[in-house]
Amino acid sequence: MATTAQILIWWQSNRVPTVEQRNETFSSFRNLADKIPIADVEGLEDLLNTAPNELNATANFTRAIPTKTVLAKIAIVPTADVTISIGTYAGGNDIIDNVVVPAGGTNDPYMIEKYFHAGTTLYITGVTSNTYFKFFQNK
């Protein structure tokens, strides 16, 4: 693929690019209608794979499992008793359904041990007080 500097030389005043140079010029740029693969954007895949592993939540939220990772466990520590549901669809409860998680210290978190594959989105509902979540991932 030609560099921008090479292409500019081909198209300078008083120069006529060859057919090959014209073809190389147009194949060096993306058309607006073409989708850009994630792998073609430098650093994007690494950025997407570095979602925070822990958070404090005070309301319902979603958690996407990054590409190239498997989520193995979730630790939950609420400041007050909460009734949590976790599903793979909005409002879902196919992972846990209305489980009462008692308030506790960090020495005794409520643990969910289940493997969630990359590309899965988890929908966590029932968060009604400040609750600490830690996500354990395998790469």
Residue 34 has pLDDT above 70, yes or no: yes
Higher pLDDT pick, 18 / 69: 18
Fold category of 52-138 in CATH = Jelly Rolls (2.60.120)
CA dihedral 50, 55, 61, 62 (to 10 degrees): 20
Tokens encoding 89: 């669809």
Which pLDDT score is estimated for 50?
57
Residue 51 has pLDDT above 70, yes or no: no
For 91-105, the pLDDT digits (tens) are 999 989 999 999 876
Which pLDDT score is estimated for 124?
95
For the residues 96-116, what does the mean pLDDT come to?
Answer: 83
Residue 20 has pLDDT above 80, yes or no: yes
- Write out the residue limits of the CATH 2.60.120.340 domain(s) in the chain: 52-138
CA distance 137 to 139: 6
Which pLDDT score is estimated for 105?
64
- Strand stretches in the chain, DSSP E: 54-57, 61-64, 70-78, 82-87, 96-101, 110-117, 121-125, 131-138
